[in-house]
Amino acid sequence: MRAYNKTLIKALLWLGISFSCTQALGAADAPSEALSADVPNPPVVTIATGDWQPYVDSNMPDFGPMGMVIRTAFARAGYDVVFSVYPWTRNAQFVANGERDAMMPYYCSDERAVQFLCSDPIVAGEQVFFYRANMPFDWEKVDDLKDYTIGATLGYFYGQPFEDAERDGRLSVKRVADDHANLRLLMRGFIDLYPQDRAVGYGMVRAVLPKEDWSKIVHHPRPLHSKSLHVLFSRATGQGEALREIFNRELSAMRDSGELDTLLEPIYADQQAVRGGKPETPQ
């Protein structure tokens, strides 16, 4: 019995020492936890987008040149940026109801300017008609397009004259959800014309078609429309105006320093690879 008591006493002493050590270690850890809690996480800007190479590429760490411009601008103001990729029509829904702070890259049409808050222009865009090189094609006005089958993409804006002619039934337009599908339809002869941003069109040719087919797709030099690309901020979040002001301020500084041109330069690499020479830059 005495031996049992001695064993019990030793066990209790060991537990007491272990508990004290644990408490001491916990106390030692407490200051570092308190210190980390005092370091605030940077505010986050949530941006809805879609793959639209070479402007936006979700396979790249910074989501391509446009993503890099936006990350850089907000980082200078102390913000993180989180991109989410959705179909283009879903992007507008999420931003309109305040589930995302902004979407990019978009043209700032009159209708969109009412629903969203448009940033200053980031880069000039130029929408042109792509067609098969073996098909004679020329045009000057929208009515010249009435005898062609045109492939378009859901959620895209092609300029008011085109939109009006499509709505009135003066053009034969087939809209699908996927850009790459339109290029394949064009290549196979199911559509005659495919309106697309010039840089994006050549990016798709390079990504989708085998190299021996690159020369089979060309673009008409007359632009369907020339419009700049923007970030469109939500009016529903309560912070859209402030975020737009921050972005515009930092974008202006980047433009003045020349950094903006450097970040956007990769946009034109695909056309150069497909057609050779130095591509003209939209004004």
Vertex 269 angle, CA 267 and 274, to 5°: 125
Q: Write out the two tokens for 154.
A: 């859901």
Mean pLDDT of 133-138: 97
CA distance 38 to 197: 47
Q: How far is CA 272 from the centre of its chain?
A: 22
Mean pLDDT of 63-85: 97
Residue 26 has pLDDT above 80, yes or no: no
CA distance 270 to 187: 18
For the stretch 237-267, pLDDT in tens is: 999 999 999 999 999 999 999 999 999 999 9
Phi, psi torsion values for 134, nearest 5 degrees? -90, 5
Instruction: Indicate the pTM of the whole model.
Output: 0.73
Mean pLDDT of 142-162: 93
pLDDT at 168: 96
Mean pLDDT of 122-139: 96
For all residues of the chain together, what is the average pLDDT? Answer: 86
For the stretch 185-217, pLDDT in tens is: 999 999 999 999 999 999 999 989 999 999 999
Q: Write out the two tokens for 128.
A: 């042109």
pLDDT category, 6, cuts 50, 70, 90? Answer: very low
Helix (H) and strand (E) counts in the chain: 10, 10
pLDDT category, 19, cuts 50, 70, 90? Answer: very low
DSSP state, 79?
-
Residue 21 has pLDDT above 60, yes or no: no
Q: Which of 112, 101, 81, 108 shows the shortest CA–CA distance to 242?
A: 101
Kindly give the pairing relationship between strand 225-233 and strand 102-107. antiparallel
Decide if 191 contacts 129 (C-beta within 8 A).
Answer: no
Q: Which of 139, 142, 189, 144 shows the shortest CA–CA distance to 165?
A: 142
Q: Write out the two tokens for 224.
A: 């369907």
Decide if 106 contacts 227 (C-beta within 8 A).
Answer: no
pLDDT at 9: 39
pLDDT at 157: 87
Q: How many CB atoms lie within 10 A of CB 267?
A: 23
